[in-house]
Structure 1
Amino acid sequence: MSGNVVSASAIAIDEAARLLAGGELVAFPTETVYGLGADATNDEAVRRIFAVKGRPADHPVIVHIANRNDLGKWARAVSKGAAQLAEAFWPGPLTLILPRASTVLDQVTGGQDNVGLRMPSHSIARALLNAFGGGIAAPSANRFGHVSPTTAAHVAADLREAPAMILDGGPCDVGIESTIVAFRNDEPVLLRPGAISVAELAQVLGRSPLPPDAAAPRVSGSLTSHYAPRTPASLLKSDALRAELAQLTERDEQLAVLARTLERPADFEGVWIAARGDAAEFARDLYANLRALDAANADAILIETPPDDPAWLAVRDRLTRATQGEDDDRD
């Protein structure tokens, strides 16, 4: 593993905060995925995030904050609904899109009039935020568009020595990115599904969030192709996957498979990952599984489509984008 990976002790966290204050980049764990952090008020440091990731300049980054009281430093207004969600789900895997304060950097917002704010629940992320004493701009700590990192080893594999430090806090508990919610004329809009479900949002707000439209703000993870392995990947229902397996095996292609209900055929010689469990368990291991399949250097990755059920909305979103929208609905 890279020499900049450090176990997240109290001493290491203090050093990471010092590095951030000096304009360096630090990768750190959150409950969702590992983030590549910079001082959110340092324009040059934030620009380095974009350079290291190969991230488009108009693709905004989320600012991580330590306390709900910090909202006023970054947002010029907080709607009633946003305040309700912050009260219910912060600290946790929820990002709120709010009207930006005048001091927020254009580089952070992608030139938009809003800013994404999140208060993470991970103990190391919170300790780092408290030690640093300010907002940390942090997208996922990987090359742009690639599978998100859920371990320090994933970060090191993608970014190598680019971060001055990679704080190792073990695997992330949630495993997929935060739910993102904006408000348009006080109506909630779900911009990205995540660990906090539509039902949970509706329970707090008294109504379900609307889907995004063409006027919705640009947010992290909203491109059609994202979270993608380098190996060509397809998303297929179980019967179609079974048929595809037979066809590709006959052509002597090397395959890697992420299955949920299918059993491994006795004559299958490729990499086969059986991901059982509910949506939360599947999500927690999703990116690690995609990276393992990608590392197999197969000709193709085949993924069994998850259930068309609200609990699986975030997983379906990630897999659809990871397969570049090639969701095969054949029965």
Structure 2
Amino acid sequence: MLKEGQVRIPSGCAISGIFSRNGRRLDGEKIIASIETMHVRSNGLGGGFAAYGIYPEHRDCYALHVFYDNETAKEEAEKLLLKYFEISVSEKIPTRPMPQITDAPIIWRYFAIPSPHFLQDKELEEKELAVECVFKINADIAGAYVFSCGKNMGVFKAVGYPEDVGRYYRLEEYEGYSWTAHGRYPTNTPGWWGGAHPFALLDYTIVHNGEISSYDANRRFIEMYGYKCALLTDTEVITYMIDYLHRRKQLTLTEVADVIAAPFWEEIDRMPEDRRRYYTSLRNIFSDMLITGPFSILLGFEGGIMALNDRLKLRSLVAAEKDDMVYIASEECAIRAIEPELDRIFAPKYGEPVIYTLNKEAQL
């Protein structure tokens, strides 16, 4: 009989998301219940969650979540952090002892604002300063890894099954208007705390099911613009490409999707002239940012969520709505488990983004 870990499941990994268009803040119980339904799609080598709206009392601060292998790494990273930021809170992230979660690093968080003197001296925009600091820590300080750095949001991840990871981090004590979750089944990369999903940069977070065969081309391109891929998994590069396209290049999210999941040339050739020019331009300008290989992703961002499949829809993805609530998951069962009665349920089309944002009246 085959045992866990002795067989490759290429369609493995589970993703799930919950989003309130009215900005209602929900605790972490439902997202844990949703991802737990897809337990068999994981193998215990990684689970994680992203939550938005969870730090209203620190909404103007960057919430920096950091893994440390030892106290020396912590001391070195904090010296660098204090050059870039004014830190108002420094504390251990609360966890509960669980036998399923082992070999835990030191898990710390800081609430901080960029140093005005550093901003002036470096002539950096605030978000660029935060990104520069994060990449310096992750690339230059051995044993330190900033795994979340947005405002009023946070990532929580570990080696373990996702439902255990959620309970380990006591997510029932947090309330957010948007939650995403991931259960990992790594096939080509190692299972380690930093390699668990979500991957984050500023307020962008990605959970991903699939494999990126274009990873080397994507990585070489994005690293020309100061991004550093050092986390031993292909998913990391998606987060950086979205930050580059959406924040730096100011593309809309629909345009971002049209770059990373662009139609095939033969499909473009059959389009009306205006659409043909549009897609031809995107493919020529951003040719190295096309993602090839099977994937389904959930992008979390401040005020919204986006779901996207690859161009052939080689990974499953289901979306549903109930009143102001949005549910997206790898399998319908993960949605029905937490909301049996739905107003609408559908499968997103291949390469076509499904985007939800907060209603104008939503107060965060």
TM tier, smaller: under 0.3
Q: TM-score, normalised by structure 2?
A: 0.25
Q: TM-score, normalised by structure 1?
A: 0.27
